[in-house]
Amino acid sequence: MSNTVGDVVDLGRGLYAWLPPKRGWGLANCGLLVSSRGALWIDTPYDPFLAGQFLVESQKRLPEGAGIDRVIVTHANGDHFWGAGVLPGAEIIATREAREYLHYDPTPQQQHRLVAGSDPSTPLGAYLARHFGAFDWSATEEVRPTTCFTGELELTLGEYTVQVSSLPSAHTAGDLIVHLPAQRAVFSGDVIFSSTPQQPGDHPVHWAGPLSNVIEACERVLATGAEVIVPGHGPVLDPAGVREHMRYLAYVRERAHALHAAGVPATAAARRVIGEGRYPALGLPERLVVTIASEYRHLDGSGLPGVLEVMADVAAVAHELDPSSAGGPA
């Protein structure tokens, strides 16, 4: 992605959030923690250009001679860790389940070929070009976690403690949250997206579920007592913003269960929920196709479909909502 620079928000006591230049698919928030003894990242941007921007911003804030030698990855979607290649040799920390989940998502090279080779005359090709065409993974190698854990992991960085907790299947299988007690902050990854009317982002997209686990993950974030919550995507929240987002999740869950009980197929159910127009300020309503399909799989006891199969349905619904949106980058 070119010609764009994110914002760096100073959260105090050596902690910063890097917020990407706009909302949309793949534009995730990242964290930087700087101590007198070095620095670490929480997640990375999606492609080397954005990761390079975040690295430049990070280096301006490091003590003389210090480097960034650790990355905590909140989950195994590329928009949170494919940029790690700009930190060669860094320790990459993720959950064991995230390492397994990597097999489900395309590699950077596969994704590059998929987007570059997609036929823009089809809804799927047009959608991929519009939402993913500005990223560049042509030279991005696959990144693998180097330290994997399940449960709780406590790290020390100079004077600061970093508490990392793995979660049951929620946004993906293998999510984790990062609590920084001295900064009273949590980086939640994609178990939280900003969805408050005051600070609208995009509709969440949940690949694994069930939504009850996503809601429990939000409870867990609140239970830390943190006052600042950096979601995976969208503006930084306070606890009230997290509670607002939990109401969104409860609404989608309740509608999915009711429509499932009424025998409405998953994609039709997503069309209905979109049509209800409950959250008009949020972008990318077609992502409800993914989230509701994930919830249906738990109700039906069926397995994960291929990502491409799901994205074809997402693109078809996006095309119905806005036929003029096909073709050309956003």
- Draw the binding track, 139-178, toward Zn ion (x: CB under 5 A; -: no contact): ----------------------------------------
If one asks whether residue 313 binds Zn ion (CB under 5 A), the answer comes out as no
Beta-carbon neighbour count of residue 330 at 10 Å?
A: 12
Which residue among 47, 79, 202, 313 contacts Zn ion (CB under 5 A)?
A: 79
If one asks whether residue 31 binds Zn ion (CB under 5 A), the answer comes out as no
Alpha-carbon separation of residue 257 from 16, 204, 269 (angstroms)? 39, 18, 10
SS3 330: coil
Least distance CB 75 / Zn ion (angstroms): 8
- Draw the binding track, 267-306, toward Zn ion (x: CB under 5 A; -: no contact): ----------------------------------------
Q: Is the Cβ of residue 54 or residue 160 nearer to Zn ion in the bound state?
A: 54
Beta-carbon neighbour count of residue 65 at 10 Å?
A: 6
| Window contacting Zn ion (CB under 5 A); options: 23-31, 53-61, 81-89, 275-283 | 23-31
Least distance CB 289 / Zn ion (angstroms): 16
Q: Is the Cβ of residue 35 or residue 213 nearer to Zn ion in the bound state?
A: 213
Q: Is the Cβ of residue 41 or residue 160 nearer to Zn ion in the bound state?
A: 41
If one asks whether residue 232 binds Zn ion (CB under 5 A), the answer comes out as yes
| Window contacting Zn ion (CB under 5 A); options: 26-34, 56-64, 262-270, 272-280 | 26-34
Q: How far apart (Å, rounded) are the C-alpha atoms in residues 158 and 8?
A: 22
- Given a contact cutoff of 8 angstroms between Cβ atoms, the answer to whether 132 and 106 are in contact is no
- Given a contact cutoff of 8 angstroms between Cβ atoms, the answer to whether 295 and 302 are in contact is no
If one asks whether residue 24 binds Zn ion (CB under 5 A), the answer comes out as no
Burial of 105 (0-12, 13-18, 19+ CB in 10 A): middle
The radius of gyration computed from the CA coordinates of the chain, to the nearest angstrom, equals 19
SS3 185: strand
Contact footprint for Zn ion (CB under 5 A)? 28, 79, 190, 232
